[in-house]
Structure 1
Amino acid sequence: MFRMDGKVAVVTGGAKGIGRGMARVFAQAGARVAVLDLDEGAGQGVVEAIRKEGGEALFLRADVARLPDLQAAAGKVEAAFGGADILLANAGIYPQASLLTMEEADWERVMAVNLKGMFLAVKAFLPLLRRSRAGRIVLTSSITGPITGYPGWSHYGATKAGMLGFMRSAAIELAPYGITVNAVLPGNVATEGLGELSEDYRRKMEATIPLRRLGTPEEVAYAALFLASEEARYITGHALVVDGSQTLPESGLALEGLYEEPTR
């Protein structure tokens, strides 16, 4: 189940974090993978890892905020692999800035990468996806914005909520071509960025999650793999939360004593 043999998957922001996990998981499932990113060193590292595992991949340097970059990448994917079946629109940034200190340029940069970049990636690869017998688009949104809020991330949350508004209309519009459009909404995931956090802060994060741990990039990738699969061909316009039930407790009180030994 959920095999990708003969499929071509394109991952934006594929050099690190969730994107890296997606690239490797899809390659392990049999897909040929195009890794798009600005970080050439890290992106080539993902490609080398995939090739060492027997997969097929290539790296393409592209800025998702620039349509010419993405159109050029689409042409190179077509030349190398003959087309594309799956677009994993994953590229995103998450700088913190309070509303008191946020500048217009801060807002515009997050919008350009996270929201506009998603749209431009879809626009650039849509001609290839329309030629596929089973076109799939999976967006990497977040619990932040669509479900929760967090101080300093109002611009980030706005982009992630905006992705779901795009998804619902795009799913209807692209249905005649057999293309499905869905999203994954990760909670706190153990990516490279968390390496800068203290162990104490990490423990506090884990304490807010009923499963008592952070997610992994691969666990988000497996959710995307399902949504991109033939088995999920009748699912479109929906969002799959991948958060260890982080958003489920009514408050921190719901978790108090949860892991204590029961009295006998």
Structure 2
Amino acid sequence: MRTVLVTGAGGGIGSAIADRFAAAGARLVLSDLRPAELSTVASRLRERHRAEVAELPGDLADTGYAEGLVDRAGPVDVLVNAAGSYPATPLLEMTAAIWDRVQDVNVRAALLTTVAFGRQHVASRMPGAVVNISSGAATRARPGAAHYATSKAALEMVTKACAVELGGHGIRVNAVSPGFVTVDSEANPVTEAYAAAVAVNPLGRRGEPREIADAVFWLAGDEARWITGAVLRVDGGSTAGTTGLPLHWAGETLAQQGMGQDVRV
């Protein structure tokens, strides 16, 4: 039986990841800032899957909590860093405290838990897998998200750096980068107008938490045993491009014009 530690397990994506592993018979250790939400998720997993679930609520911005989380969880086979903070803060309203909070939760905590996981597995000489949850914001900024986009870009480099240093010990470190996923989050709410704007992608729909969970489950498993340092974009194709723009040339198509004419692009 694998033991899987999931941070941010009280949220939509984190809880879906926990559910996916519980359905496969894993023992779960769950972390979240909000004890009530964490207990709700844990109770649901016990009832639905008869899963063995431990709850370790706490604030990942607290260095002591982040550094000690893996050891408190006991021997852990898989670490999923799903916790994240994404407040909307216009650039001219940014403060050091707001900036640091996002970096501490989204980047530093993931690094600290991965370091602790690495130490645990090096000592036991056992292989392991880490999966970080990134975002499309890692490669594309947007208004109000300078801190968030920066943190996710940094998290992807942390993923690669950890993969390089831990690979020789049989520890794989990868990331899943979701596109816009429908979640009901009081901690990190979004408006419907925002959701409609960012959910334009080649597959024509928003993602579901279970689709991110499936990707995480696969990356953490034996079928992905030769994959490390990778960022898997699970975003309906939005990284490839957008279908939300009209043809850039409003005139006749090439077929209508004839291929012999001068064409500017």
- Scaled to the shorter chain, the TM-score interval is 0.7 to 0.9
Whichever residue aligns with residue 67 of structure 1, its letter is: T
In structure 1, what is the Cα distance between the partners aligned to 2:147 and 2:192?
A: 27
Is residue 2:126 matched to residue 1:133? Answer: yes
Is residue 2:206 matched to residue 1:233? Answer: no
Q: 1:255 to 1:246 in 2, by over 3 A?
A: farther
Say how many residue pairs are matched.
Answer: 245
Partner of 2:25 in structure 1?
30
Deviates more, 1:192-201 or 1:235-244: 192-201
Is residue 2:3 matched to residue 1:11? Answer: no
Is residue 2:41 matched to residue 1:46? Answer: yes
In structure 2, what is the Cα distance between the partners aligned to 1:97 and 1:67?
A: 24
Partner of 2:55 in structure 1?
59
Instruction: Say if 2:79 and 2:117, in contact at 8 Å, map to a contact too.
Output: yes
Which runs of at least 4 in structure 1 moved beyond 6 Å after TM superposition? Answer: none
1:62-109 deviation per Cα after TM superposition (whole angstroms, max 9, x unaligned): 22122322344333321xxxx101010111100011211111211111
- The alpha carbon displacement at 1:132 in A equals 6.3
Whichever residue aligns with residue 71 of structure 2, its letter is: G
Is residue 2:72 matched to residue 1:76? Answer: yes
Whichever residue aligns with residue 77 of structure 2, its letter is: D
Instruction: Quote the RMSD (CA, aligned, Å).
Output: 2.2
Instruction: Say if 1:36 and 1:62, in contact at 8 Å, map to a contact too.
Output: yes
Q: 1:185 to 1:87 in 2, by over 3 A?
A: same
Partner of 2:207 in structure 1?
215
Partner of 2:136 in structure 1?
143
In structure 2, what is the Cα distance between the partners aligned to 1:255 and 1:32?
A: 51
In structure 2, what is the Cα distance between the partners aligned to 1:59 and 1:218?
A: 21
1:186-215 deviation per Cα after TM superposition (whole angstroms, max 9, x unaligned): 110111138955556544444x12222211
Q: 1:105 aligns with which of 78, 97, 111?
A: 97
In structure 2, what is the Cα distance between the partners aligned to 1:66 and 1:104?
A: 16
1:173 aligned counterpart, secondary structure: helix
Q: 1:71 to 1:252 in 2, by over 3 A?
A: closer
Partner of 1:259 in structure 2?
none
Deviates more, 1:123-132 or 1:111-120: 123-132
Whichever residue aligns with residue 241 of structure 1, its letter is: R
In structure 1, what is the Cα distance between the partners aligned to 2:55 and 2:8?
A: 11
Q: 1:172 to 1:160 in 2, by over 3 A?
A: same
Whichever residue aligns with residue 3 of structure 2, its letter is: V
2:91 aligned counterpart, secondary structure: coil
2:59 aligned counterpart, secondary structure: coil
Partner of 1:152 in structure 2?
144
Q: 2:106 aligns with which of 114, 117, 142?
A: 114
In structure 2, what is the Cα distance between the partners aligned to 1:150 and 1:56?
A: 40
Whichever residue aligns with residue 154 of structure 2, its letter is: G
Q: 1:225 to 1:105 in 2, by over 3 A?
A: same
Whichever residue aligns with residue 15 of structure 1, its letter is: G
1:58 aligned counterpart, secondary structure: strand
Whichever residue aligns with residue 120 of structure 2, its letter is: L
Deviates more, 1:6-15 or 1:56-65: 56-65
Query: What TM-score do you get using the length of structure 1 for normalisation?
Result: 0.85
Whichever residue aligns with residue 165 of structure 1, its letter is: M
Gaps of 5+ in 2: 249-265
2:90 aligned counterpart, secondary structure: coil
Q: 1:224 aligns with which of 189, 213, 216?
A: 216
2:76 aligned counterpart, secondary structure: coil
Alignment of 1:189-204 (within 5 A): 189-193=181-185, 199=192, 202-204=195-197
Partner of 2:258 in structure 1?
none
Q: 1:168 to 1:43 in 2, by over 3 A?
A: same
